Structure 1
Amino acid sequence: MPLDERVQFATSLTEKIKYQFGSGYEHFVHQGDYATGSSAGRPGPPWRSDASR
């Protein structure tokens, strides 16, 4: 994923995020962790790619 596209905004953390990549899509699911440091409070890694689409 290009560096300038790594921050995505979602309306809900309970829903999958659909990201267009190449000729298809990747789906990501929040795993409950939050960032620390200068990004504190933002949903953080690890996000899991959801292969079950």
Structure 2
Amino acid sequence: MKTLTTWQDFAGQTGAAVTTWNYNDAGVLVSKRYHDNKGPDYEYDRACPSNTSAMIPM
């Protein structure tokens, strides 16, 4: 999933807020952005095996 839209009033289709997840070319999550374009960036600890990488919000 790349985006998710939530609604304050779904029936009236008003108050939409889109959350976006951004991935690098390897498919690794690098940031999450809320409707106001704010949100965390992520870095990963390369010392961890790829299937257990520690996700660190920056």
What interval of TM-score do these two structures reach, taking the shorter chain for normalisation?
0.3 to 0.5
- TM score, norm. by length of structure 2: 0.37
Q: Which protein is bigger by CA-based radius of gyration?
A: 2
More helix as a share of residues: 1
More strand as a share of residues: 2
